[in-house]
Amino acid sequence: ELKVEQNPLFLSMQEGKNYTIYCNYSTTSDRLYWYRQDPGKSLESLFVLLSNGAVKQEGRLMASLDTKARLSTLHITAAVHDLSATYFCAVDGGSGGGADGLTFGKGTHLIIQP
Amino acid sequence: DTAVSQTPKYLVTQMGNDKSIKCEQNLGHDTMYWYKQDSKKFLKIMFSYNNKELIINETVPNRFSPKSPDKAHLNLHINSLELGDSAVYFCASTLGILANYGYTFGSGTRLTVV
């Protein structure tokens, strides 16, 4: 059974600081996704990582994937209050046959204080 | 607007009732999913359909029955609602079973069983 672990689950940080959220998963997969969720809202796609060594950046967020270590990171640079949200990593696959859907981590609740 | 749309957005109902949630996507995707997000914000896949055919049926009570009349629609019918069914239900879609372009989520249906 595919397991996805995120840490930390809760993070309070100050504006201007840098931090990294980690996502470990238990089985071979090269498809990993990061989502943002604001309270009461849907899941907004941030990054789609489809190969070992993939690195993507959007604004103050950068995500990477190491399939050999089964690890993805979401790095926040010079955090601003608007980035406060819950961030989920999710891994696709289990059977390898497709349409397996996503297995999600428990989410990282990020609060960025002025 | 191209999107995954769900109706209703909110649903409050009594135990024992039967209710349906509808999902439609106009993205030209061929694979659709239902996810459940519980009160702790944990997300878990329930079902996936590819071109109207059921691919995944996770450990979900028989009271839940998905129906896909065509590849643009995936509805969820729930019989004999229980208090534990209270959650937010998200519909999602992908292009292709390998989801190389990521998943698009609907806005969610908040179901409250009283």
Rounded Cα distance between A61 and A45, Å, is 12
pLDDT at A51: 84
- pLDDT at position A6: 97
Q: Do B43 and A102 touch (CB under 8 A)?
A: yes
Cβ atoms A72, A49 nearer than 8 A: yes
Give the model's pLDDT for residue A30.
77
- Indicate yes or no: CB of A101 within 8 angstroms of CB of B96: no
Residue B1: is its pLDDT beyond 70?
Answer: no
Confidence of residue B51 (pLDDT cuts 50, 70, 90): confident
Q: How far is A84 from chain B (nearest CA, A)?
A: 16
Contact B39, A107 (CB under 8 A): no
> Between residues B16 and A31, which one has the greater pLDDT?
B16
Chain A CB contacts of B98 below 8 Å? 31, 92, 98
Tokens of A66: 């190491």
Mutate to test the interface with A, among B4, B103, B104, B112 (most CBs of A within 10 A): B103
- Report residue A70 as tokens: 């089964």
Q: How confident is the model at residue A107 (pLDDT cuts 50, 70, 90)?
A: very high
Nearest CB to A100 within list B35, B42, B56? B56
